[in-house]
A and B are shown apart, each in its own frame.
Chain A
Amino acid sequence: MFEGLLDGYTRSLLIFGGINVIAAYSFYLPFKTGQVSLGQAGFMAVGAYVSAIITAKFGLPFAVALVAGGLLAGIIGVLVGFPALRIKGIYLLLLTLGFAEIISVIALSWEYVGGAQGFRGIKFNPYTLEYVIGIIIVLIFFFARLERSSLGRAMDSIHQDETAAEVMGIDVVRIKLLAFGLGAVIAGIAGALYAHHATFMDSTTFSIMMGVEILMFVVVGGGSTYWGPLAGAVALNLIPEFLRALREWLELIPVSWTNFYPMDRAYKFLHEFLDFENAKRLIAFGIILIVMMILRPDGLLTRDSVRRLRTKLRFPRWRARHA
């Protein structure tokens, strides 16, 4: 699929963007029950290392490794989810952060997976883009169904008021564990895809900053609707590309327009400013985050804005239900 259409750069961009979308959904599921996790990068690391061991050390096909990586991350997710039931807020943030750090220390000191040299020689999977697109479609379908199901409503009610939900007869423990475990499964899958596209990883690949970024995708996109993680991950991945494109357009301006005094300075300044090496890109990110939290603390998309968009686009079936 898409062989003739995409050059390598665009392809890689789409793949990493898509993996970020999947990772954002892995954060969104526990978040739906009110659990905020900074440790999704840790679950990604579990999925990545397990799947890479399976393909590189045992020579099994990638599909097996993907499933195994997701499952093992899910099992560990449930194990972490048990203690996570007892605590919330900042304590849960710290617990998940500590978990992710422990995973990275294990990756650093375990020689079987390369230790400090990193895991080398992971098989490259040529169909990563197809996998990514397929999984995103499945996830969106899953979350769309979840939103209208009794399970999804139970999750929302736990998010809003845990005690009230429990009084209403909702099995809070089971649902929170389920959400945390399934979130870990999704993260593990994202990690497995990452490992077999990048073909190299070490203990710093799935760092605290990655966990923070995943959280950012959801908060920026909007945590109250299942379109939010997609919107956030896509927006934050596209901004730097957009700025790069701006610079290329700038170069299309004829030289005769800009080679006299005030214009040449302005041109040079803009040109240098849009030269987005990593540090400058992240500075711009930081500024965008702060401005975003001041202007739209609910994120780009909220439940209401999605509803309004749908009415505008005239989805009659949906409107009829909500008349």
Chain B
Amino acid sequence: MIFQQLINGLMLGASYALIAVGYTLIFGVLNLLYFAHGEVFMVGAFVGLFLVLYAGVGIWGALLGAMIACAVLGVIAVYVSVRPISKDHPLAPLISTIGLTMILQNLAVYLIGGQQVAFPETLTQQLYTFGPVTISSTQLFILVVAVALMAALWLFIEHSKTGRAIRATAENHETAALLGVNVNRVVLITFIIGSGIAGIAGVLDGIKNSGISPFMGLSAAVKGLIVMLLGGLGNVPGAMVAGLLLGMIEIRSAAYIGTTERDLFSFLILILILLYKPTGLFGTRTAEER
């Protein structure tokens, strides 16, 4: 029982972690609460759905298509709601990304309608049993993709030249620019990576819940925020671990106290972290809070 719950928690946490990784990357580099990230996640889910339904591609095609579409969306977001905004108004970029959130969400409502859409079955259902744990092929697929993606991202951030530039920019814009880092390019790359991962997370969420709606972005965004904070702002490995952790905590608390109170629990965690350990469980990587 407890192992089964651990696996379920990992599943839930994997999608939280994927969203939070993008959040924390973008927050680290720009010091910006990027509100539209949840909507990018939602767009990814719908792109995946349409690719499966109308282009007849398999699940890999859907993942790849959603990733590319969301990466493009990330570039658009930079050019529309980040670059043109003046830097001396701390609230201005927050508001402009809220504007982007409203546009994306309501565009989806307008084009698709406000109700839930079923996600077609793309994987053959099969159950595997490992000792006390039963895991379906869908769950296994989601877990493997999410973990592989996070491992790849970690390697990229820690060991590539661009990754080092991202870390340097997160620590200090001016110093990084002085040392020859093209900060604008780093911001763009960060948005591309973060949004692409959010797109994949969207498709994975669609497979898992077998239904998606234009309103799925907001709750995902809020959960992503909690995870980002839990892992420490701007801390990518922290976000990965914290995502899995929150998923497991939620599953455990849902088992004990019920599903409505589950959310209460995650927000209490948010507030406790804010008050007693604002650097998160694993420390922040950004210069100073704004």
Contact = CB atoms under 8 A, between A and B. Distances in A.
Whether A and B are associated in the same complex: the answer reads yes
B270 A289 contact: no
A306 interface: no
Contacts of B107: 279, 283
Interface string B143-177: 00000000000000000000000000000000000
A296 B101 CA distance: 20
Contacts of A95: 270-271, 274-275
Interface in B79-106: 80-81, 84-86, 89-96, 98-103, 105-106
Q: Which size bracket describes the interface of B in this complex?
A: 35 or more
A66 interface: no
Contacts, number: 130
A98 B269 CA distance: 9
B290 A282 contact: no
Contacts of B100: 286, 290
Contact of B289 (A91, A215, A223): A91
Q: SS class of chain B's interface: helix, strand, loop or mixed?
A: helix
Nearest to A86: B275
A101 B289 contact: no
A268 B92 CA distance: 36
Contacts of A223: 91
Nearest to A295: B84
B106 A282 contact: yes
A286 B106 contact: yes
A295 to B, nearest CB: 9
Contacts of B226: 98
Contact of B101 (A86, A101, A219, A286): A286
B260 interface: yes
23 contacts: A87-B289, A90-B31, A94-B270, A95-B270, A97-B225, A101-B222, A108-B260, A109-B264, A209-B218, A223-B91, A283-B106, A286-B98, A286-B99, A286-B101, A287-B99, A289-B95, A289-B102, A290-B100, A292-B95, A293-B81, A293-B95, A293-B99, A297-B86
